[in-house]
Amino acid sequence: MNVSVEKMLIMVISLSFVVFLCVPLLNVTLNIINVTLQSSDGETLIHEIEKGIDYALTTLKTYHSNVTVPEGFEIWSEGDTLYIKYDVNGTSKTYEKSFSFQVNVTSPTLPGRYELRIWLDDDVLMIVFRKLTG
């Protein structure tokens, strides 16, 4: 194959143009997708907790689920009230729900994968996060 220097130069310039234009555009797109996925992680976990509470209260059985705890997620209880602090697109939000009984939470210590267990023990709603290993 006989390729002239001109054609070779045109191909190199075209390739460099594609690399310099497309790579940053792809990077921006992936960052937007990543931010969107992270922002919904807190809301997804809240939905899973609500689902577990409903299950535990209606069946009086323990709810089990493996969940991902995102960065910036905090959960705690004060008496009969459950509080959850989470981020949505860089904005901190707080979820608050009161019950007619005591709420006890064992909080996750760091972001990562946890086993979520929720059950009603006498008149205490138990919400426990246990770190998954491996």
122-126, long-range: CB < 8 A, 24+ apart: 125/53, 125/56, 125/57, 125/82, 125/99, 125/101
Residue 30: pLDDT over 80: no
Phi–psi pair at 22, nearest 5 degrees? -80, -40
Mean pLDDT, rounded, for 77-82: 96
Q: How confident is the model at residue 51, as a pLDDT? A: 96
The domain tally of the chain equals 1
Tell me if 61 sits within 8 A of 55, measured CB to CB: yes
In this prediction, residue 91 carries a pLDDT of: 85
State residue 133's pLDDT score.
86
Mean pLDDT of the chain: 86
pLDDT at 34 over 90: no
Is it the case that residue 4 has pLDDT exceeding 60?
A: yes
* pLDDT score, position 2: 64
Instruction: Quote the pTM value.
Output: 0.70
CA dist 110 and 124 (Å) reads: 25
pLDDT of residue 7: 80
- Domain of residue 14: give its range: 5-131
